[in-house]
Structure 1
Amino acid sequence: MRRPERMAVLVPVVVMFGLGLWGLDRGGMWRDEAVTFQVALRSIPQIWHLLHSVDAVHGLYYLLMHVVLAVHPGEVLLRLPSVCGAAATAGLVAALGARLRRPRVGLWAGLLYAVTPMVGHYAQEGRSYAMVSAGVAGATLLLVRAVRGATWWPYGVVVAVTCVLHEFAVLVLPAHACTLALARMPWRTWRGWLCAAGATVVVLLPLVLVSRGQAEQVAWLTAPDGRSVERLVREFFGPSRAVLGPYLVLAGLAVWMPWPKRGVSLAGVALPLALVPPTVLMGVSQVTPLYDDRYVLYSLAGAPLLAAAGAERVAGAVGRLRADGRLPRAPYRGGVALLGLLAVCGVLIVQFPLLRADRNAANRPDDLAAVAAAVAREVRPGDPVLFLPSQERRSVLTYPAGFRGIRDVALDVPAAADGTLYGREAGPGELRRRLGGLTYVWVVGRRFALKPSWTPWNPTERAKLAVVNEEFITRKEYVRPGLTLRLYVRREEHGAAS
């Protein structure tokens, strides 16, 4: 790799790494990160036991994080692999642009990727999506190399490992097939790709079969609609109108520019990568809802590549006008690259408020550190606590210090021993017996679970609701975003106190 190409790759890596480290310790994990944290801290046999019943799709990621968190359990180390994954993806996007067009195109694309708010969000998540994006971008670069004469086995290995890291990454295979079709590749090239793709499918098949049996985990998903498409476009091309319009225009210029009759082009790589996985997953989700925008985060890499290619087309047109004497010549040769960098800086300035807001724990769906702090402040050691629903036990699994000494009324078997995420609770009859001997109980619950309209399917959850509503009355309540902490006292006790 020549020096301009190295610089084009290195600068986006450094910028993305800096943005990822900025505000990484935001002071609290939310529920998805909490699952990663508490599962990764289990022993390998306990993780293996868990994967037989739930979260098999994240199995490889949990094992990797088990090794990482063995160094020092904490929020920063939990998120650091995602920062590294995002930085690697920015560099790989730049390498694709440099390899398929020229170094300045790679530099622009890599930097555009780094300053995208959606990228910054998942760069600071203790989940696998940023690492999956790095795997897909690496596989795409290896596809380009293989098409140009390199061996196919590195491509096959990277694709297979990435798909095991998250099985929806397999949708990059039809995107790569579209790239080969657009490039009019000969049968010899197709044969090499089909062998690599087939091997990936064979490796992935056991995971698919196991995860299908755990499909209730994504039962909360709904079929995507037009608003889902609009949201994804904004996340890929810029949430701000000031960014979205020019971004789409540049991407359109890249698509409508003359394509080579044969051979892999930048648009031929970027367009299928950006379009095919989301389109396929949205289509499948009309029948079986499986779509969530984070599952196709890796497709975002196609958007800055298209925009950078469009900017290069504009730069080429301006260069031709200068050569014809219809425009004044640039004062120095690096003027075009500098203008591109200034444009990216403008994008960063416009989207900076979004990036800054994302560094606040309050910008996540919930903050389990705040839950633990509220419990530590209000609940005394030895007090009985009820989690409603049982998933709210994740706060004690993530921040046990805040719950030190409390009595978990419903818990029968701890999560790690039970091979589940939140443990096994007592049956309805036993739970009623335990609650029957209490004069008061604290409830840590979600707001929806404490509303009269909520009807849980689980009999133990129904028993919790029935007992606290029939036999207890609310004495105190503390409400925070994502948390309701209530003190219930028995009705007779309340009447005596009155």
Structure 2
Amino acid sequence: MAVAVPGAVMLAVGLWGLHRGGMWRDEAVTYQVARRTVPQIWRLLHGVDAVHGLYYLLMHVVLAAAPGRPGEVDLRLPSVCAAAVTASLVAALGARLARPRVGLWAGLLFAVTPLVGHYAQEGRSYALVAAGAAGATLVFVRAAAEGGRRAWALYGGVLAVTCWLHEFAVLLLLAHAGTLALARSSGRVWRGWCCAAGGVVLSLLPMVVVSHTQSAQVAWLTEPDVETAQDLLRQYLGPTDGVYWACLALGLLGLTRLVGRRGEVTLAAVALPLAVLPPVALMLASQFTPLYVDRYVLYALAGAPLLVALGADRLAGMLGRLWSHGTGTAPRSPAFTLAGVLAVVLAFTHQVPLLRADRVPGTRPDDLGAVARAVARVLRPGDPVLFLPAHARGTELTYPEDFKGTRDVALAEPGPASGTLYGREVGVATLRRRLAGADEVWAVVEKYAMVRGYRPRLATERAKYAVLNQQFVLRQEMVVDRIALRLYVRPIRGGDGQP
């Protein structure tokens, strides 16, 4: 029960509002790539998104198995299931290292945390990485207690697969090393862990090498600061003030027995390094090369509810002793367990508005479905379309039926055939020739590209802007989230050849 109930609750929270509307661009990339053939995916990974390669291959299988044409729910369902598994694994950690009620409380807290609910409904790899990290931590605890080559080999295998889902899961090794240090583990345990950790790192080297050449993909990231760390702590413990301060106090109380007997792995010694070391390490590394985003260390969140539940157990123990001292009778344990569950329910009700808002269409950075619906209302078959810049084509690739019959003026070769995300575009001369006979052009434009002074790096992109501004005038514009749909028309020329 202590393990199953949190998983069931997480499943219910994840399924609630799962069909919230259109995909946003990161989900759209998953959807587009996963629907390619395996050779096409393999070719793409040599140039972009190698860090998500295993996830794309898994989603290729999932979407291929979906009945009919797969949609948003099919894309997000694996993340919901992974989050439910993670909640159960968090509960299993608490039950193994403390007692069943600690596991129950921790698993439930994990399930009702808004940040977890957010990524449980994303068609990206982060919920699966969290499940793999929690599973690896549970196997790690067993291996540290029982030893044996098989246990450490299983640990290394689970963690290696998790790291191939996202390479920053390798920071989990820091958390586990911190646990062994706090437990004052024997040399035999350290040797077993080092062998497993070495195998994980070696297996990950090919991805590290390839992904390093693709680092331009994260050039938009900035250096994290103290405010970034404070925001992450609040996301881990609860965004609302009441939940945050209560959980912070209980989490600190949970640290009172951080170190046990020599060689003993305590729950606090697992939870604290898990919650702290991966995000801190990534933030510190990002002072030199910005790499930090909260979703990259989502798996570390599991440590926070474990500490909070452990603190609640400490508080329950103190209250029990006070009760016994005052009445001469021991309090019944189920009463405390139920009280803890009710406290989690109260935390959940406090955060329901946040969870509900997260399920409203348009709460993600953009909604490509809304853009596609706008396109379907105004474009006609045969209309020429320009995407500025090229990655604005993601809307068409995700919702091709809304662009049916239109002409992509700048496209030379589609993404699957060219081994790119958004296709290969024509040269400047070809683009000008294709636009020469057009009386009007629809442009799908990223909002940042409409800022005065914006100058694209590629010649074809600059040519798009030059032709539109020199030969056409803006007739109509609709803005949806971060994308504008613009109609440009060629001025009518008079008899003297002048507009």
1:116 partner amino acid:
T
Shift of 1:256: 3.2
Separation in 2, partners of 1:494, 1:11: 76
For residues 456 and 145 of structure 1, do their structure 2 counterparts lie closer, same or farther at Cα, with a shift above 3 Å needed? same
Task: Give the alignment partner of residue 15 of structure 1, picking from 9, 14, 27.
Answer: 9
Separation in 1, partners of 2:99, 2:22: 42
Task: Give the alignment partner of residue 96 of structure 2, picking from 95, 99, 116.
Answer: 99
SS class of match (1:223): coil
Pairing 1:19-58 to 2, within 5 Å after superposition: 19-58=13-52
Quick check: 2:258–2:268 contact (8 Å CA) kept in 1? Answer: no
Superposed CA deviations along residues 271-298 of structure 1, whole A, max 9, x for unmatched, are: 0000000000000100001100000000
Superposed CA deviations along residues 122-162 of structure 1, whole A, max 9, x for unmatched, are: 00000000000000000000011001115211101000000
Shift of 1:429: 2.6
Separation in 2, partners of 1:152, 1:400: 48
Shift of 1:493: 5.4
Query: Partner residue of 1:77?
Result: 74
Identity %: 61
Separation in 2, partners of 1:83, 1:352: 18
Structure 1: stretches of 5+ with no match in the other structure: 1-6
Superposed CA deviations along residues 356-393 of structure 1, whole A, max 9, x for unmatched, are: 11111211111111111111110100000000111110
Query: Partner residue of 2:202?
Result: 202
Task: Give the alignment partner of residue 108 of structure 1, picking from 105, 108, 115.
Answer: 105
Shift of 1:494: 10
Separation in 2, partners of 1:169, 1:258: 24
Select between 104-113 and 461-470 the one with higher mean Cα deviation: 461-470
Query: Partner residue of 1:247?
Result: 247
Query: Partner residue of 1:382?
Result: 382
SS class of match (1:361): coil
Query: Partner residue of 2:337?
Result: 337
Separation in 1, partners of 2:189, 2:258: 23
Shift of 1:447: 1.5
Separation in 2, partners of 1:334, 1:200: 42
Select between 190-199 and 223-232 the one with higher mean Cα deviation: 223-232
Quick check: 2:182–2:259 contact (8 Å CA) kept in 1? Answer: no
1:92 partner amino acid:
L
SS class of match (2:2): helix
Quick check: 1:20–1:123 contact (8 Å CA) kept in 2? Answer: yes
Query: Partner residue of 2:115?
Result: 118
1:133 aligns with 2:127: no
Separation in 2, partners of 1:328, 1:483: 67
Query: Partner residue of 1:4?
Result: none
For residues 311 and 327 of structure 1, do their structure 2 counterparts lie closer, same or farther at Cα, with a shift above 3 Å needed? farther
Query: Partner residue of 1:189?
Result: 189
Shift of 1:316: 0.8
2:188 partner amino acid:
R
Query: Partner residue of 1:144?
Result: 141
Quick check: 2:90–2:107 contact (8 Å CA) kept in 1? Answer: yes
Superposed CA deviations along residues 6-61 of structure 1, whole A, max 9, x for unmatched, are: x1000000000011111111121110000000100000000001001000000000
1:318 aligns with 2:319: yes
Superposed CA deviations along residues 272-328 of structure 1, whole A, max 9, x for unmatched, are: 000000000000100001100000000000000000011011111111112222698
For residues 120 and 60 of structure 1, do their structure 2 counterparts lie closer, same or farther at Cα, with a shift above 3 Å needed? same
Separation in 2, partners of 1:138, 1:338: 27
1:468 aligns with 2:462: no
Query: Partner residue of 1:301?
Result: 302
2:80 partner amino acid:
V
Query: Partner residue of 1:400?
Result: 400
Separation in 2, partners of 1:493, 1:399: 37
Shift of 1:497: 12
Task: Give the alignment partner of residue 66 of structure 1, picking from 60, 68, 88.
Answer: 60
For residues 358 and 372 of structure 1, do their structure 2 counterparts lie closer, same or farther at Cα, with a shift above 3 Å needed? same
Quick check: 1:30–1:365 contact (8 Å CA) kept in 2? Answer: yes
For residues 179 and 491 of structure 1, do their structure 2 counterparts lie closer, same or farther at Cα, with a shift above 3 Å needed? same
For residues 497 and 305 of structure 1, do their structure 2 counterparts lie closer, same or farther at Cα, with a shift above 3 Å needed? farther
Separation in 2, partners of 1:458, 1:35: 22
Query: Partner residue of 2:428?
Result: 428
2:249 partner amino acid:
V
SS class of match (2:443): strand
Separation in 2, partners of 1:493, 1:337: 81
Separation in 2, partners of 1:226, 1:462: 39
Aligned residues: 491
1:219 partner amino acid:
A
Select between 196-205 and 458-467 the one with higher mean Cα deviation: 458-467
Shift of 1:228: 1.1
Quick check: 1:12–1:91 contact (8 Å CA) kept in 2? Answer: yes
Separation in 2, partners of 1:198, 1:169: 14
* RMSD, aligned CA: 1.6
For residues 470 and 147 of structure 1, do their structure 2 counterparts lie closer, same or farther at Cα, with a shift above 3 Å needed? same
Quick check: 2:258–2:266 contact (8 Å CA) kept in 1? Answer: no
Separation in 2, partners of 1:293, 1:223: 13
Separation in 2, partners of 1:337, 1:20: 24
Superposed CA deviations along residues 235-278 of structure 1, whole A, max 9, x for unmatched, are: 11111001110111111111234631321011100000000000
For residues 494 and 58 of structure 1, do their structure 2 counterparts lie closer, same or farther at Cα, with a shift above 3 Å needed? farther
For residues 325 and 389 of structure 1, do their structure 2 counterparts lie closer, same or farther at Cα, with a shift above 3 Å needed? same
Quick check: 2:243–2:347 contact (8 Å CA) kept in 1? Answer: yes
Task: Give the alignment partner of residue 83 of structure 2, picking from 68, 75, 86.
Answer: 86
Query: Partner residue of 2:231?
Result: 231
Quick check: 1:444–1:483 contact (8 Å CA) kept in 2? Answer: yes
For residues 327 and 416 of structure 1, do their structure 2 counterparts lie closer, same or farther at Cα, with a shift above 3 Å needed? farther
Separation in 1, partners of 2:413, 2:228: 40
Query: Partner residue of 2:439?
Result: 439
Superposed CA deviations along residues 326-348 of structure 1, whole A, max 9, x for unmatched, are: 69864x43110011001000100
Separation in 2, partners of 1:287, 1:326: 60
Query: Partner residue of 1:179?
Result: 179
Quick check: 2:371–2:395 contact (8 Å CA) kept in 1? Answer: yes
SS class of match (1:28): coil
Quick check: 1:29–1:361 contact (8 Å CA) kept in 2? Answer: no
